Amino acid sequence: MNINIDSAYLQMAYSLAEKALGWASPNPYVGAVIVNKDQIVGYGYHESPGKPHAEAVALKMAGKRAKGGTAYITLEPCVHFGRTPPCVDSLIFSKIERTVISSLDPNPIVNKKGLKKLRQAGINVSIGLLESRNNRLNEAYFKYITQNIPFLTAKTATTQDGKIATNTMSSKWISSSSTREYVHLLRGEHDAILVGINTIIRDDPILTIRHPNWEGKRLTRVILDSHLRFPLNSKIFQTLSDGNILIFCHESAPDDRSKLLEDHGARVIRCSGNAAGLDLIQVLQELGANEISSVLVEGGSRLMTSFLEKKLIDKMYITISPKLIGGKEAPTFFEGEGISVLRDSLRLKKVRSFTIDEDIIVEGYF
């Protein structure tokens, strides 16, 4: 056993896992490499739900050459029958001698059971190498599988003075075209995009992914609209083939409106709420129940403020463009009451920043 060799093969398995980014949800991103006598005899990754797991792809490629080999796997192998048979059984059956697993699967039906079963079969198991890479790659899956609600990433485009629109609510365009292209890349990594109804009414966005890297990817568009003010002539209805439209409204919203919107191709889901808006926890639970594991929250100001005040956002991207707008009426992305003492401020951690053209992109976690 050589830690450098082990991490090199595991890095390779991670590179494979990353190929499924944006496609495997609500399943995790997993890669596997099988090595026998210093030769790579099999490799694979889990492409999408219903397709074989990474280990199964790699074992199939290895065939008889798996016997006596080492399996490098980015996530603990499964022990349960899902859409495919348990990978632990396949590893045992193939007579793998050793497994190097990067991270435990937090899924309660797998967690530590995969390791236990491998060890019981006499297979040497090591766990934890390069684990931090998984914490990042599978951040959405880890939250979704343990809490049954999606991982929430907020994205907002601001000026240097923190505005997300002018005093006439115009926001096209605050950021540069390259930054907007980057946002399309980000959208593709998510299952859904979420906005408040005012953004639909004011901007009439189609909320699709327009980037060659994501051809064929469908993104669910989620809109919070308590009273079903959604205009029936919104452009988004012309893009039904790009992804579902989910409209959340209040239980008391008029039936005839919801019927009209459903006739236009949207799905309307009712939930409770009050004057401040719909119950966000209920919205998230409903999204989780619909196998949406990651959501990009794109605003506007009222919606973002609600999510931030309730401390529901996990990760944030703020794009800052070198423009000044000014004006008390021009919105920022975090309004509401505000905090009184600095120690109560929301604080981003693990902050990273980079530039695209003249824009600064700040990424951080709550």
Cite the active site residues.
55
- Do 125 and 99 form a contact (C-beta atoms < 8 A)? yes
- Do 166 and 172 form a contact (C-beta atoms < 8 A)? no
Interface pattern 83-112 for Zn ion (x via CB under 5 A) = ----x-------------------------
Find the shortest distance in angstroms from Cβ 135 to ligand NAP.
Answer: 28
User: CB-wise, 51 or 53, nearer to Zn ion?
Assistant: 53
Q: In what order do the strands lie in the sheet with 124-127?
A: 39-45, 31-36, 70-75, 98-103, 124-127
78 binds, among ligand NAP, Zn ion, none (CB under 5 to 8 A by kind): Zn ion
Stretch that binds ligand NAP, among 11-19, 197-205, 236-244, 320-328 (CB under 6 A): 197-205
CA 353 to CA 146: how far, in whole Å?
29
Find the shortest distance in angstroms from Cβ 87 to Zn ion.
Answer: 3
List binders of ligand NAP among 201-260 (CB under 6 A).
Answer: 202-203, 224-227, 229
User: CB-wise, 110 or 154, nearer to ligand NAP?
Assistant: 154
List binders of ligand NAP among 41-100 (CB under 6 A).
Answer: none
User: CB-wise, 290 or 332, nearer to ligand NAP?
Assistant: 332
φ, ψ (nearest 5 deg) of residue 84: -135, 160
CA 118 to CA 124: how far, in whole Å?
8
195 binds, among ligand NAP, Zn ion, none (CB under 5 to 8 A by kind): ligand NAP
Residue 103 found at the interface with ligand NAP (CB under 6 A): no
Find the shortest distance in angstroms from Cβ 89 to Zn ion.
Answer: 9
List binders of ligand NAP among 160-189 (CB under 6 A).
Answer: 164-165, 169, 171, 174
First-to-last CA distance in the chain?
38
CA 154 to CA 305: how far, in whole Å?
11
Find the shortest distance in angstroms from Cβ 180 to ligand NAP.
Answer: 10
Q: Which two tokens stand for residue 205?
A: 């966005």
With CB under 6 A as the contact rule, the residue among 195, 297, 308, 361 that binds ligand NAP is: 195
Residue with tokens 């423009």: 323
Q: Which two tokens stand for residue 251?
A: 């239980």
Find the shortest distance in angstroms from Cβ 303 to Zn ion.
Answer: 37
Which residues have C-beta within 8 Å of that of residue 250, sequence separation ≥ 6? 226, 227, 270, 271, 272, 273, 278
236 binds, among ligand NAP, Zn ion, none (CB under 5 to 8 A by kind): none
CA 363 to CA 366: how far, in whole Å?
10
Pairing type for strands 267-271 and 245-250 reads: parallel
Going through 220-348 in order, the beta strands assigned E by DSSP cover 220-224, 245-250, 267-271, 273-274, 277-278, 294-299, 315-321
φ, ψ (nearest 5 deg) of residue 244: -70, 155
User: CB-wise, 288 or 300, nearer to ligand NAP?
Assistant: 300
Find the shortest distance in angstroms from Cβ 59 to ligand NAP.
Answer: 46
CA 152 to CA 192: how far, in whole Å?
10
Residue 306 found at the interface with ligand NAP (CB under 6 A): yes
83 binds, among Zn ion, ligand NAP, none (CB under 5 to 8 A by kind): none
CA 301 to CA 154: how far, in whole Å?
11
CA 106 to CA 291: how far, in whole Å?
17
User: CB-wise, 2 or 274, nearer to ligand NAP?
Assistant: 274
Interface pattern 40-79 for Zn ion (x via CB under 5 A) = -------------x------------------------x-
Give the residues lining the site for Zn ion (CB under 5 A). 53, 78, 87
Give the residues lining the site for ligand NAP (CB under 6 A). 156-157, 164-165, 169, 171, 174, 195-199, 202-203, 224-227, 229, 277-278, 280, 298-303, 306, 331
